[in-house]
Amino acid sequence: MKRSIVNAIACVCAFAAFAGTDATVNVTATLKDGSSVRGDFLTKSITGATLFAKKLVLTPSIVKTVNFTSTNGEAKVELSNGDRFAISVSNDVFAVRSILGNLKIPRASLRVMSLSARAAAAKGGAMGGLIFHCTFDDAASITSPAVGPAGTFMTGTFEDGKIGKALLTKPYTNHAAFEFLQGFLRDSGCIEFWAKILKPSPMIGDGGDPRLLAITRADNRDFVFNVDIVSNDGGGNSGFALRTWYGGKASIRGMRPLRYQDLFPAGDWRDWHHYAILWDINGISGLPGSPKTALLVDGKLTIGTEYDTILIMPSTKAHVLGITCDPALSPRHNTKSPFLIDDIKIWDYAKTDVLNP
C-alpha cells in the first residue's frame, strides 16, 4: 500500500509539466441509464479525499478511469501509470464538450468516466500544425490516437503496413469512425495517408472501388468529403475522384472503363501510395492556379476538372470521419474493394510538402 501511495504521488508530480501544457483530454462518460457521452473533458481537475490525502487534486491528464460506486461520490480511480485507489469525489458536475455542445453532467448520474490525454498539436509556425494523427497500428491507436479526438473501433484486422501496422478494410464494412466537433476542421487543411489496393481484378468498378475515406456532417449525415477510385462516380467523373467542401476534382473527365494501371505507373498499382487532399477557401498557395482543392498522389498534383461546388464551410459544423464511411449510413456507401490504410494525418493548413513530416 505504501509503494502504491508513493507511486500515485510521484505520478501526480511527474505529469505536472504535461498537464500544464495545451493538452487534449478526451472522455467517454457512461451514465447509469446505459447511455454514453463522448467529447473533450473541460473540467480542470478532479478533487476529493482519500485514505492518504484529505484533499487530493488530480489533473485529468493522468487519470485513466473513475468508476463511481455510489451516488455520494465514492469512486475507484485508476491512474495512467496503473495505480488504483479509492476516492471520495467532491466535484458535483463535470463539463464535457460533445458533439451535442457543451454539457454539464451531474456526478450522481455517472457510472464510469474513461479519460485519455494526448499532447497538444505539433505547431508548424505561422501556418499551423498537426491536429490529428492515427497510426492504425492496432485497435488502441484508433480509440486513443497519437493526436486528436478519440475514435471508435468497430471491426478489422491489422497487417504489416507502410509504417508499422495498417488497418485492413473489407468491402461494405464499417471499421472505424472519429467525431470532429464544430471548429475542429477549418477553412483550410490537409488530410494525408498511405493506402495499398488489394483487389485482385485489374478493372476499376463504379462507385468507391475502393472508397478510401469519407466525411459526413454529424447533424444530417450528408456527404461533404470523400476520396474514391472509380470508373464512374455518378457525376460523369473517373479516375481519382475527390469531393471536398470547396468543390470536387476528378483526374479523368467522363465515364470510361479503367484499369488501375491507367492511374498508376505500370506494375505498381498494388504498391503503397501516398494520398494528400488539400483545401483552402482562399486558394492553395504554391499550386498552379491556386485551386481551392487539390489531390496529390505520391507528392504529385493530380490535375483534373473542378465540379460540384459545396457551399458549407467545414468550421461551422461537426463532422464524422469514417473508415471507410459513416457507420450511421448504409453499408452500401462503404468501399467496394479491400485495401490497407496507414498513418492518417490531418493538418490545419493546406500542407503542400506532404511527403515531409
Query: What is the DSSP secondary-structure string of 334-349?
Result: S-SS-EEEEEEEEESS
Q: Which three cell numbers stand for residue 338?
A: 479491400
Please write the tens of the pLDDT for every residue from 51-101. 988 899 999 989 999 999 988 899 999 998 889 999 999 999 999 987 777
Torsion angle in degrees (nearest 10) through CA of 65, 66, 67, 72 = 180
pLDDT at 49 over 80: yes
| pLDDT at 25 exceeding the cut of 90 | no
pLDDT digits over 255-290, tens only? 778 889 888 877 789 899 999 999 998 888 888 888
Please give the CATH architecture assigned to the domain spanning 130-347: Sandwich (2.60)
Measured between alpha carbons, how far is residue 134 from residues 85, 94, 191, 194, 323 in Å? Answer: 32, 28, 11, 11, 12
Cα distances (angstroms) measured from residue 71 to each of 27, 53, 63: 20, 21, 20
Contacts of 335 (CB under 8 A, 6+ apart): 169, 171, 172, 208, 209, 210, 211, 212, 324, 325
Higher-scoring residue by pLDDT: 30, 355: 30
Nearest to 98 by CA among 22, 31, 51, 154: 31
Strand, helix or coil at 210? coil
CA nearest to 37, candidates 114, 89, 119, 92: 114
pLDDT surpassing 50 at residue 9: no
Asked whether the predicted pLDDT for residue 333 surpasses 70, the reply is yes
pLDDT for res 113: 92
* DSSP for residue 236: S
Predicted local confidence at residue 84, as pLDDT: 92
Q: What's the pLDDT tens digit per position in 223-237?
A: 889 899 998 877 767
Cα dihedral 39, 275, 196, 342 sign = negative
Res 307: pLDDT: 59
Q: Kindly list the domain boundaries of the chain, sorted by start residue.
A: 2-118, 130-347
pLDDT digits (tens, 9 = 90+) for 93-149: 999 987 777 899 999 999 999 888 765 444 444 445 888 999 999 999 998 888 888
Q: 298 in the Ramachandran plot: left (φ > 0), alpha (ψ -120 to 50) or beta?
A: left
- Asked if the peptide bond before residue 210 counts as cis, ω within 30 degrees of 0, the response is yes
Structural contact between residues 173 and 155, judged by C-beta atoms closer than 8 angstroms = yes
